[in-house]
Chains A and B, each alone.
Chain A
């Protein structure tokens, strides 16, 4: 029987990065996962609502957790930011009964279900980067990445703060490397894989953000990567959509294709290329497809 999750793709995967949502949904049955929709779930607030109205931020995220609890399943995300915000809210109310009570009072007042604090939030990467997860990939008999040299790009919020995230050492993460290797790729290692892509401030402070993304883009290029892979759609936007702007600002060329994590898995497992919709990428992925042989 497939493992069921309340599927929380986050706003970006449903809108400007639809290819991520579509690929995840197509991949799920191959990985023995059933993704249950959450039609009444809001945006997690992405750190912005927390910066404007901290109590509202907490209440909105607990409301999402409560919906998963009503469905009787844990939440699966495909976005670093959603993972952090949902996990943070979960930790806050699980560790403080009085706070949970206060939040639940607000939820009940508007007719929402109170949260009992029984659910967990995980990311697709975490689910797959365990022994059990890797065996799900093995079952598919991956045809592999044909030695594609992949630079893992974690971004920030799937790793830190470790007191909230806690899946792996934020200074020496290895989950993406495990997946890349298991899928028949080669790891192009570089120091900035866990630095910030700058996306949270790209609209308000574009030049600063582009100087941040430059660090990871230039290092992955220098490490001889054929492409980068990221578990976060916001990092993807920063590295892919804004890559030409970063090149112009920093006076250098990266020409670095950036894949969403499910796309890398999809390539290795032979998922229909059309589903993965690489046309939506701003930086062409042709050389990646050529190397993998699709």
Chain B
């Protein structure tokens, strides 16, 4: 048997508006999961301790919480593994991040579900239904393999740095589901989806902190899905429709003209109006020698790169 101190975030709004922390000592078998540890506390020490859970098998995704600051599925995380990883005898348990707590470890998931619904997370095929089902080749389905594994546990959402700064950002899980349908050959809404996902708070708001890829317990890699949605947006003619898209386009222009980033082009191309209004900042940058040369850099063998840009076909 092992002994662990669980330091748990408590919030009981029916008693008080203030949250607090409570420590529990627990004697347990060495292979106990974090979820079972919490349920054991609930059963044996404090019946008011609340956590949301269902399948206990890493399928439903409802028991996501933070263990020592890292978002995990409580049902697939062993207490002793957390202690080993963080070299501590105490496991601090918190509700997932970027959500308002409702009670103890249970959070208000409404914003998450609203965003999920906003990406139209279902197939919208074109034309009349065929006599048999709409078949998909193995190769085409492989393209969606990772995103199809998303269980909507919100671990990615919990850690998303863009969301922490902008609560309206659609977030990694919804966008991963967006790609799951935008990339599906059976779907007839590719163009509309490209438009839907690339406005304000969409694809171009991802700050690429990579937490979503790091934390996803199912290997979905939401950041990669966001990247693929950007590619689809470009294919569907949205390369100039948003400052984020124009920022990416400026990289392509730089690549074509010199092979390296042309900062002279980057700022005004990304947001021409702001670039003109932000002259004081530009002057400060110039004063410190940070103004780029107006003459674009030119790498050796640039023609190779220019030809690659013509030749390489996108197959998202």
A residues at B contact (CB < 8 Å): 11-12, 14-18, 39-43, 45-56, 59-60, 63, 84, 106-107, 109-112, 156-157, 159-163, 170-172, 191, 195-196, 198, 200-201, 203-206, 208-209, 211-212, 215, 241, 244-245, 277, 279-282
Contact = CB atoms under 8 A, between A and B. Distances in A.
18 contacts: A12-B261, A14-B260, A40-B259, A40-B300, A41-B259, A42-B255, A42-B299, A45-B251, A51-B226, A54-B227, A160-B213, A162-B214, A195-B161, A205-B204, A208-B165, A208-B205, A211-B165, A279-B289
A162 B210 CA distance: 9
6 closest A-B pairs (Cβ-Cβ)?
A51-B230, A160-B210, A196-B209, A11-B261, A211-B165, A204-B243
Contact of B210 (A110, A157, A277, A281): A157
Given A160-B213, A160-B214, A201 B207 contact: yes
Contacts of B211: 156, 160
B284 A282 contact: yes
Interface stretch (B17-25, B124-132, B262-270): B262-270
B213 A161 contact: yes
Nearest to A16: B290
A59 B308 contact: yes
A200 B209 CA distance: 9
Interface string B228-255: 1011001000010011111111111011
Contacts of A84: 210
B302 to A, nearest CB: 8
A156 B252 contact: no
Given A48-B248, A204-B247, A39 B300 contact: yes
Nearest to A54: B231
B312 A56 contact: yes
Contacts of A51: 203-204, 226-227, 230-231, 248
Given A52-B248, A110-B304, 8 more contacts: A46-B251, A56-B309, A157-B210, A161-B221, A163-B213, A200-B207, A205-B205, A244-B284
B260 A56 contact: no
Contact of A16 (B70, B263, B308): B263
Give the interface size class of chain B: 35 or more
Contacts of B246: 204
A76 to B, nearest CB: 18
Contacts of B210: 84, 156-157, 159-161
Q: Which residue, of A16, A18, A43, A280, has the highest number of chain B Cβ atoms within 10 A?
A: A43
Contacts of B260: 11, 14, 42-43
Contact of A280 (B243, B274, B289): B289
A43 B254 contact: yes
B305 A60 contact: yes
B263 A56 contact: no
A266 B292 CA distance: 25
A48 B247 contact: yes
Contact of B304 (A112, A205, A280): A112
**B165, B260, B270: most-surrounded residue (chain A CB, <10 A):** B165
Nearest to B267: A203
B137 interface: no
Contact of B166 (A11, A17, A211): A211
B308 A56 contact: yes
Contact of A109 (B86, B164, B226, B311): B311
